[in-house]
């Protein structure tokens, strides 16, 4: 299994977390994830963003920024609900992971 497969869920939660704070766009998300040690290509990130939108967790719109069009994403009520539920599960899992280190 590729390590990226292990982290895909965490990356999606990270995206939802930031989209809950305010609008985000792909380039910014890639930089933010890079700061946390995740190296994602656009070919990995954009399908992830589109999937989150298709499932109703994010909504997007296009906006001109200078000479370029940029797609911004924000969390939806369904996304907020999913993020709240996931935070509880992540907290429980992390408790177990760090309670009994390898």
Average pLDDT value over all residues in the chain: 91
Given this model, what pLDDT does residue 7 score?
Answer: 83
56: alpha, beta or left? (left if phi > 0; alpha if psi -120 to 50): left
- CATH number of the structural domain 3-94: 1.10.10.10
- 3-state SS assignment for residue 1: coil
Classify residue 100 by its DSSP letter.
S
- The rounded percent of the chain whose pLDDT value lies above 70 is 94
Mean pLDDT, residues 41-60 taken together: 96
The Cα–Cα gap between 41 and 61 comes to 22
Given this model, what pLDDT does residue 101 score?
Answer: 64
- The rounded percent of the chain whose pLDDT value lies above 90 is 66
Given this model, what pLDDT does residue 66 score?
Answer: 86
Given this model, what pLDDT does residue 6 score?
Answer: 76
For residue 95, what pLDDT band results from cuts at 50, 70 and 90? confident
Locus of tokens 């809950």: 20
């Amino acid at each position: 299994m590729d390590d990226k497969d292990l982290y895909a869920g965490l990356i999606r939660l990270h995206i939802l977390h930031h989209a809950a704070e305010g609008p985000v766009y792909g380039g910014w998300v890639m930089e933010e994830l890079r700061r946390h040690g995740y190296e994602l290509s656009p070919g990995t990130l954009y399908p992830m963003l589109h999937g989150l939108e298709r499932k109703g967790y994010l909504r997007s719109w296009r906006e001109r920024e200078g000479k370029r069009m940029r797609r911004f994403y924000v969390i939806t009520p369904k996304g907020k609900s999913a993020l709240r539920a996931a935070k509880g599960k992540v907290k429980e899992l992390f408790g177990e992971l760090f309670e009994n280190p390898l």
